[in-house]
Amino acid sequence: MGRIKQQQQSHQRVFTRRVAILGGLKFGLVGALASRLYYLQVIEGEKYKLLSDENRINHRILFPPRGLILDRFGIPLATNSPSYRAILVAEQTPNLQATLEAFSAIVPLSERDIARTLRQRQRTQDFKPITVKDDLTWEEVNAVELNLPDLPGISIEIDQKRVYPFGGITAHILGYVALPNEKDVENDPDPLLRQPGFRIGKNGLERHYDAALRGGAGESQLEVNSYGRALRELARREGDAGSDLVTTLDIGLHQFAHQRLSSEMAGAAAVMDVYTGDLLALVSTPSFDPTAFYRGLTNDEWHELSNDIYGPLTNKAVAGQYAPGSTFKMMTALAALRAGIRPTDRVYCSGVTVLGSARFHCWRREGHGSVDMTNALKLSCDCYFYEIARRIGIDQIAETARMFGLGNIEGLDLPGEKPGLIPDRAWKKGALGDIWHQGETLVAGIGQGFITTTPLQLCVMTARIANGGYAVKPRLVRRIAEESPNDEGNPIFPSLGLSQEYLKVLRTGMDMVSNTERGTAFRSRIDIPGMELAGKTGTSQVRRITMAERARGVLKNEQLPWNQRDHALFVAFAPVHAPRYACSVVVEHGGGGSAVAAPIARDILIECQRRDPSRRNPNAEGGRREMP
Amino acid sequence: MGIELHSVGSPPGLRLSQRIRQIPWSLVILVAMVASIGFVMLYSAAGGDPDRWMNKQMIRFAVGICVMLAIGMVDLQRLAKIAYPLYAVALVLLIYVEFAGEIGMGAQRWIDLKVFQLQPSELMKISLCLVLARYFHGLSYEEIGRPWVLIPPTLLVILPAGLVLKQPDLGTAGMLLMVGGAIFFVAGVRWWKFAIVFALGIVGAVVAWNSGFLHDYQKARVLTFLDPSRDALGSGYHITQSKIALGSGGVWGKGLLQGSQAQLNFLPERHTDFVFTMLGEELGMVGGLLVLTLYSLLVVYGVAIALRTRSHFGRLLAFGIAMNIFFYFFINTAMVMGLIPVVGIPLPLISYGGTAMMTVMVGFGLLMAVYIQRDHRVGRRSSNEE
């Protein structure tokens, strides 16, 4: 008994001691748990609170409405309109295939639409919407809404899409919006660009003023669960709407000019207020459909557009560089006046000017006889200008031409503007590494040879002649609505410092071109009193006429393939005695300036003056601005 | 003293009425408190829907209380008698599920008995305590010093632990080993033997890691535990989200039904293994400490019973049960707090599910039985004593 008792006691002692050891260990472990809890929930608590909010809250970017683009009278040229999209949430339909078939009975779906929808379904979570069909018509929306009970999972969503009411007519100026490419995204930190479906300005004014038009992103904070399903909106901040852009265009005139010019294969025209520089019309034909770029071009479409010989993608008004031909003669004449040649000085035109061994022909084989400066302009006598160009030299001609905006970028708000080329000795030495030949001066004197200008530049040149020698600059945008809501002011331009007498000689010559018999554009005069125009024709060769051909007889334009025919040009201002509008027209390979370009310019200027607000309502637009 | 005890102890057993009078109601209340916290959490986990989990859990708990009280009435001598047969049954079932068990959570774990699902590994947790208590009860302190005497109980532990690890259930296997080891320790096995086993264990772990005995997902869990960012959306996701949920709860918590991590589904298994995380998020550190305190009290209760008990069998059994409860809640809470790898051990009484609850309720029943018969002798050899 004693042994057992003793054994039991020692057993119990060991047990008690060891239980105590393990008990201490357990207290230590529970203490570790408690400290861990303290560490996570108190010391690191704030950090984890942030992380849990990050989990819980999904920030969604809201698209701001893009600013409108308006013409000078407030007519919208680019707007946003609701676009209806049928979407499908897979988890809400018991049978996807059946729903699509039912939908197809109301709004026909192509095989491709169905295949795309099913493909999207594979990649999308059950509760996320997939697009079944884009851009439904209002009738289709109504039909779908009516049948919604039979279309489980389908609903209609409203998006904004960019709409150009005038389509291709304004495409060259407005450009278009399209999805940003990788480079756009790289260069712009705006989160909007990272949103699927967001479009940015890719050309024209849409691109140049993209920042103002775009506005600022809004944000919606959504509470989401771990699958990303939105449960409720916690906060919402609407984006800042883009600013509206008021352009200088008179869309009615612009549209008229576009249609008028479309009678030819390809061309450009510009109409500008000679005092303010406002471009009322800036046309380039043929054009393209900007909505095709909105949805994205297929490869074939892109190929076709970019290889079209009529160049629909080029804005020829600012990027088309043509030899100005005889429209340049005002510059040669003005350079001569500045060099001291009197307008009454006469030159005898026999039909050909001989310089060394080279012969320079007048367009009229028989010659014009003895002509002074104004008559030389009126008849567009080449020999007269060969002679005065020879006397004053190329550098003086170039200097005068540059004063009138030729050979320079005008700094318009459009991408792709080209400078043209006004050559001189220095240029030839630098660019071609050759000395200037006198024969080249003669050719330059009639606007041929190296010289190229854009239709916009010719318009600016004409405006500066018409407004009394002020360095008017063209502009396309009057104001950005949000930035300067009350700024209707017109810019003030410095004088070029030329004698009014000289400019009067040019204007008289141009007057005679149109308004006196035998003037090269007499047939395209305006005989409405008070609206008469003064102009200058131009026909610029694009090929070289050889001696042999001249001997056989020069081929008529009609006998040549289109792209070898002459360009037809015409510049004009009106009304002749109180100039307000300048206009230039270039018809690519159109033939003769007087036959093809002048009638178009005449029609445009008649329409322009008819639309003049001071004629329609004298109080509509702060009256005419007088230049001293 | 001892002689008197023997005389009090026989004839064995008290009458039923005497036992009922002895029921430790404080233990029952403590258990009910923990379970009630569980009900509240399951109500919140279902987003305020009592039918989803809470009601079923209450029914289970009601059954569990009955089981606990019933087992509390059983004679210790009888428990000692059935220790070996029960262990044998549990071991056979473990072998059976190895070949024919239902697969759940990627592991073979249970037998579908139609009425309920039986997890032999849970049954083994109880039987192991019983069988080790029974074995060491029959040995004197001197006998325990003999090495070969330790071979049978070592096998008693290693066999089921190995089978469970094969299922594969790392957490339960670990629990069996640790509970077994703790019973060896308090039974008086010499210190240096533990040192040897510990050294062998480390070698074994290295071998197991390299020999392919561990499943890839088990290895992944260990690696992910060491570096959660290794697999932030896969295995590391659980732990990362769990820590975010706990940490964002702060001192006072976000309030019931307000835990964004749990309610919005960022927290996986919020009603089962990660229920403590949800509690920490919604009730804060205060709630977490309350639960840890209640569990610690339950363990202290069990250890106190062990220390108060005269029979060696009762002492070892009570201590084994207390260790089981300790490891249950320690492994679960340490796991969700990112202190140990995710091993898939639920938090008993609070996690949704009947199996773990039944195990601890049976355990509490055994504790109660030991407590009621704390002053009674248990025969050394069940055949020739009494």
Residues in chain B closer than 8 A to A15 (CB atoms): 186-188, 312, 315
Query: What are the tens digits of pLDDT across the range A494-513?
Result: 999 999 999 999 999 999 99
The residue type found at A371 is V
Does any CB of chain B come closer than 8 Å to the CB of residue A29?
Answer: yes
- Please judge whether B185 and A22 are an interchain contact, meaning their C-beta atoms are less than 8 angstroms apart: yes
- Please judge whether B249 and A41 are an interchain contact, meaning their C-beta atoms are less than 8 angstroms apart: yes
Q: Annotated catalytic, A357?
A: no
Q: How would residue A486 be classed by pLDDT, with cut points 50, 70 and 90?
A: low
**Mean pLDDT value of segment B6-25:** 72
Lowest mean pLDDT among A238-242, A407-411, B193-197, B223-227: B223-227
pLDDT of residue A474: 93
**Mean pLDDT value of segment B343-355:** 88
Spell out the domain ranges in chain A.
Answer: 60-247, 251-616
pLDDT of residue B11: 47
- Please judge whether B292 and A33 are an interchain contact, meaning their C-beta atoms are less than 8 angstroms apart: yes
Does any CB of chain A come closer than 8 Å to the CB of residue B336?
Answer: no
Mutate to test the interface with B, among A16, A27, A41 (most CBs of B within 10 A): A41
A622 pLDDT higher than 90: no
CA-based nearest distance A45→chain B, Å:
5
B261 pLDDT higher than 60: yes
**Mean pLDDT value of segment A252-258:** 95
Q: How would residue B228 be classed by pLDDT, with cut points 50, 70 and 90?
A: low
pLDDT of residue A304: 86
The interaxial angle of helices B235-249 and B216-226, nearest 10 deg, is 40
Percent of chain A with pLDDT over 70: 95
The residue type found at A323 is A
**Mean pLDDT value of segment B94-110:** 68
A505 near A331, Cβ under 8 Å?
Answer: no
- Please judge whether A7 and B140 are an interchain contact, meaning their C-beta atoms are less than 8 angstroms apart: yes
B9 pLDDT higher than 50: no
- Please judge whether B265 and A224 are an interchain contact, meaning their C-beta atoms are less than 8 angstroms apart: no
> For residue A90, which of A58, A146, A131 has the smallest C-alpha distance?
A131
A297 pLDDT higher than 90: no
**Mean pLDDT value of segment A506-528:** 93
Q: How would residue B4 be classed by pLDDT, with cut points 50, 70 and 90?
A: very low
The residue type found at A16 is T
Nearest CA in chain A to B293: A30
Neighbours of B232 (CB within 10 A): 13
CA-based nearest distance B139→chain A, Å:
10
- Please judge whether B334 and A33 are an interchain contact, meaning their C-beta atoms are less than 8 angstroms apart: yes
Identify the active-site residue in A243, A284, A326, A540: A326
Query: What are the tens digits of pLDDT across the range A203-241?
Result: 899 999 998 999 888 888 888 777 767 777 888 888 888
Which CATH class for the A251-616 domain? alpha beta
Nearest CA in chain B to A50: B248
How far is it, in rounded angstroms, from Cα A142 to Cα B318?
76
A379 pLDDT higher than 90: yes
Identify any residues that bridge with A347 across adjacent strands, giving them in sequence order: A371
Residues in chain A closer than 8 A to B1 (CB atoms): 5
**Average predicted confidence (pLDDT) for chain A:** 87
Identify any residues that bridge with A158 across adjacent strands, giving them in sequence order: A84
Of A19, A33, A53, the CB nearest to B319: A19
CA-based nearest distance B367→chain A, Å:
16
Tokens matching residue A264: 């030819």
pLDDT of residue B1: 36
Does any CB of chain A come closer than 8 Å to the CB of residue B331?
Answer: no
Could you give the count of Cα atoms lying within 13 Å of B59 in the half-sphere of its Cβ? 7
pLDDT of residue A228: 67
Percent of chain B with pLDDT over 90: 53
Tokens matching residue B248: 């964002």
> Who wins on pLDDT, A163 or A89?
A163
pLDDT of residue B191: 87
B12 pLDDT higher than 60: no
Does any CB of chain B come closer than 8 Å to the CB of residue A15?
Answer: yes
**Mean pLDDT value of segment B123-131:** 94
Does any CB of chain B come closer than 8 Å to the CB of residue A22?
Answer: yes
How far is it, in rounded angstroms, from Cα B333 to Cα B25?
27
Identify any residues that bridge with A621 across adjacent strands, giving them in sequence order: none
- Please judge whether B246 and A37 are an interchain contact, meaning their C-beta atoms are less than 8 angstroms apart: yes
Query: What are the tens digits of pLDDT across the range A108-158?
Result: 888 878 887 888 788 777 777 788 888 888 888 888 888 888 888 888 877
B3 pLDDT higher than 50: no
How far is it, in rounded angstroms, from Cα A133 to Cα B166?
55
Provide the CATH topology of domain A60-247: Penicillin-binding protein 2a (Domain 2) (3.90.1310)
B225 pLDDT higher than 90: no
Does any CB of chain A come closer than 8 Å to the CB of residue B229?
Answer: no
Does any CB of chain B come closer than 8 Å to the CB of residue A227?
Answer: yes
B113 pLDDT higher than 70: no
pLDDT of residue B180: 94
pLDDT of residue B36: 96
How far is it, in rounded angstroms, from Cα B336 to Cα B344?
10
Neighbours of A458 (CB within 10 A): 31
- Please judge whether B337 and A223 are an interchain contact, meaning their C-beta atoms are less than 8 angstroms apart: no
Query: What are the tens digits of pLDDT across the range A73-106?
Result: 999 999 998 888 888 888 788 888 888 888 988 8
pLDDT of residue A2: 62
Residues in chain B closer than 8 A to A30 (CB atoms): 292, 296, 330
**Mean pLDDT value of segment B141-156:** 88
> For residue A541, which of A528, A522, A525, A554 has the smallest C-alpha distance?
A554
Residues in chain B closer than 8 A to A12 (CB atoms): 315
Nearest CA in chain B to A46: B248
CA-based nearest distance B2→chain A, Å:
6
> Who wins on pLDDT, B240 or B352?
B352
How far is it, in rounded angstroms, from Cα A504 to Cα A334?
10
Mutate to test the interface with B, among A55, A125, A231 (most CBs of B within 10 A): A55
The residue type found at B83 is A
Residues in chain A closer than 8 A to B336 (CB atoms): none
Does any CB of chain A come closer than 8 Å to the CB of residue B307?
Answer: yes
CA-based nearest distance A5→chain B, Å:
6
How far is it, in rounded angstroms, from Cα B130 to Cα B136?
10
**DSSP state string for B69-110:** HHHHTS-HHHHHHHHHHHHHHHHHHHHHHHHHPEEETTEEEE
Does any CB of chain B come closer than 8 Å to the CB of residue A309?
Answer: no
Q: DSSP H helical segments within A467-544, as ranges?
A: 500-515
- Please judge whether B334 and A36 are an interchain contact, meaning their C-beta atoms are less than 8 angstroms apart: yes
Nearest CA in chain A to B264: A225
CA-based nearest distance B186→chain A, Å:
5
Nearest CA in chain B to A33: B334
**Mean pLDDT value of segment B224-246:** 71
- Please judge whether B250 and A45 are an interchain contact, meaning their C-beta atoms are less than 8 angstroms apart: yes
Interface of B with A in 181-210 (CB under 8 A): 182, 185-188
CA-based nearest distance A33→chain B, Å:
6
- Please judge whether B312 and A15 are an interchain contact, meaning their C-beta atoms are less than 8 angstroms apart: yes
B241 pLDDT higher than 90: no
B326 pLDDT higher than 90: yes
- Please judge whether B2 and A11 are an interchain contact, meaning their C-beta atoms are less than 8 angstroms apart: no
Query: What ipTM did this prediction achieve?
Result: 0.90
Does any CB of chain A come closer than 8 Å to the CB of residue B172?
Answer: no
B329 pLDDT higher than 80: yes
**Average predicted confidence (pLDDT) for chain B:** 85
Q: How would residue B101 be classed by pLDDT, with cut points 50, 70 and 90?
A: low
B249 pLDDT higher than 70: yes
